[in-house]
Each structure stands twice: as C-alpha cells, then as structure tokens.
Amino acid sequence: MKRLQSWVESANSAETHFPLNNMPCGVFSVGADDDPRCGVAIGDFVLDLALLEDRGLLDVASETVFDLPYWNAFMEEGPEAWEALRARLTDLLIEGGDDALRGDASLRAEALVPLADASLHMPFIVAEYTDFYAGRHHAFNVGTMFRGAENALPPNWLHIPIGYNGRASSVVASGTPIHRPLGQLRPPGSDSPHFGPSRRLDFELEMGAVVGGGSELGQPLTVSEAESMIFGYVLLNDWSARDIQAWEYQPLGPFQGKAFGTTIGPWIVMRAALEPFRCEGPARDVPLLPYLQEKRPGLYDISLEVTLQPDGADTATTITRTNYREMYYSAAQQLAHHASSGCPMTPGDLLGSGTISGPEKENRGSLLELSWGGKEPLSLETGETRAFLEDGDWLTLTGWAQGADFRIGFGTCTGQILPAVTEPDWSK
C-alpha cells in the first residue's frame, strides 16, 4: 500500500507517524481554559473534529460525539460509523478530494491546530482493564528465572491466554508522573516482610487493544466477532513493582505490584489503519481449542522501542527494540477468551497484550529480563547503570508499522518515576 497524498504537507513525510493513511484518534486542548475535545493527528497538526462536526462537515454519527473529552461515545456508534469517519476524513484531507476544508482559509486555520500547541489527554474513558501474559519469550524468560528452563511455561500457557483483571482507575495518560509504590516486601533470606517503597521498579512494553463494542452477559464471542469489536490500539506501559509482586502473587497473581499505575499513549490507532500490516504469529507447539482458532492472521508488524533517560541527563538510551508480531496470542483471541465464560465486554475496555519480548537479549520488553533479575545491569549512554528504575528516570515507548514510503505511528508514551510518597503515621 502506498502513502495517500494529502494537501497537509507535513503528512507526506516518510518519517511522520501521522500520514493520511493513519489519522489516529486523540483528545486535545489548547491553553488552560480550553475544553478538551476529539481530534485526529495529521502530520504536524491535530484536526479539530468537534469544530468540523459543528460546521456540518462530519455527519457520521447519530448524535454529537466529538465535542467531548473522550472517544467512547463515537466508539459506541459501531464499525460502520468507524469506517464512515475514516472515509469522510480521507476525502477532506486527500489531495484532490472534497475542498470544503482546504478551500476555506479561515476554517482551515482554526481546525488544524499545531501539535506543538496542543495538550494531549486520555483518549478514552477506560471502562475496565485486563492485562494478559501472552508473549512467549517474556513468559519463558521470567519462568526460567524463577522455575528453571524445564518448567518455564506453566502447563496451561500454550493452550490459554493467561490474564488478570487490573485497575482502570490507575490507567493514566502519557506524561503523567508515577510515584514509586509502597508495599509489603520480603527480601531474600528474610522470614517476614516489611513495608516500604519498592526497590525493584520496572516497566513492561505492551500494546493495548481498545474495545469499541460490547457483548451481553452470558454471551460468548467468536474470534471474528471479537476482532470486529476492537476499535484500535495504543502504546501501553504496565509499570511493575517486582519485589511487591514476588511476595504477593501466590496463589492469586498480581495485585498491588501492578495496581499503582499503567500508562497509555495519547493516540488510538484505528484497526483499519493497521490492516496492511497484518501478519502471522509464531508457530504453535499444540493446536488451540476451536474457540480460539483464527480464520486469518491476527497480529501486526509493529516495530517497538523503549528509551530510558535519567533525570537531568541530555541523552536517552534505547534499551530495547522488539515487534508486536512476537505475541503468541492476538488481541482478538484475548477478547474472545475473556468473553468465553459469558463475561460481558464494554465499550472502553482496555486489554493489555502482555510484555512484548523477542528472541534476543536486546529484544526484551522489561528490565527484569534485560538485567536478568538484577544480576546483569544495563549500561546507559550517560555512563550510569540500571538493574531497575531509579527516581527521576524517564521511560519513553514508541512504535510504528513501516510501509513502503510511510509509517503508521503511535507517537510516544512517556512517564517519569517520582519518589514514593511520605508514609502516613500508621499509629493514627
């Protein structure tokens, strides 16, 4: 597929994350007194959809949906509306298309807001959040560290996308600082735990699938039905306190070691924009049960990178490079499994892919793996080393699908680690 040529010149760069082929969905404002509203990124601009809707140029929904600080209302309109929006915006922005926007200099100047002037917000209201453990390289690495290579994968792993229900309340927008969490810790060799700040704070490189449709209580979904409900994808960093998690996770899995924060990128890349990059996943050791079998490949060829930059440093170090195609289970399979018990799914549900690691050390999607449990610290370009995150560190995720002469990009997903909050007086 070739790049679509837009009259917005910056959208025609081979390096931009936001060509006309993309048009990812976000929420923006300009200035402290401006109301956040829906827009799409195009080149170096965000296009104000609330304004276009008000001027009668976007008739793609049954009601006003873009003059809102979230995309949930539009997502609930369903796949036909999603397709209609992309078609209408393409017609307004493509070279030689409808001249209603390009030909109106006043409207054009008002509707195209420079990204440099825009504040980006949470792109949707997270109804519920489920995180999966669906990357084989990550699962094998972590299992090897704790159980040995011969028992690295639990018996169910090759048959079922393992997951846990997380906290929607602590999913935050890119740029939101994350305080080092407090919790119960039991250091190696100790018989009892103590309470204090995590010392083994980590990131997890993931993609998040944004569910745009819903299902009824008691109604399972096929993989095809599940895929049609996915509105798009975001970058996702599932921050993890490995020492809190290690003490708490048996027998019921992650809790406080994960609940303190999850950061998502500001742009939802719609599923349709990724269609040219659909690809096969890894070969399977055992066939999946029929309800999880896909009729077509469910993964996408999306390059992913993470940089780490100490506070005050001039240089960020790229600490990992991997690809979403390394996942063992697709988002559609995860969603179908989630609904297989009859669990109802809701527009605005967020599914974390699980940590995306590749086969080589430089492809590992967490510090737990990169430093091999802290035994092999990373060397940064600043001369410092890291086994786990220190206060002040900035983590930045980015990703894109590479076409012949264009990219479908996700922008960046950033967060800085702040010191733990002062402990309360527990005697009160």
Give the catalytic positions in this structure: 138
Helix (H, G, I), strand (E, B) or coil at 215: coil
Which H helix or E strand runs over 114?
Answer: strand 112-114
Helix (H, G, I), strand (E, B) or coil at 57: coil
DSSP bridge pairs for 208: 234, 352
* HSE, side-chain direction, 13 A CA sphere, residue 408: 28
CA neighbor of 209 nearest in space, from 140, 126, 278, 87: 126
The tokens of 125 are what? 């209201």
Q: What's the CA gap between 351 and 349, in Å, rounded? A: 7
The tokens of 322 are what? 């991997």
Q: What's the CA gap between 334 and 342, in Å, rounded? A: 14
The amino acid at residue 408 is I
The amino acid at residue 63 is E
251: cis peptide before it, omega within 30°? yes
Helix (H, G, I), strand (E, B) or coil at 81: helix
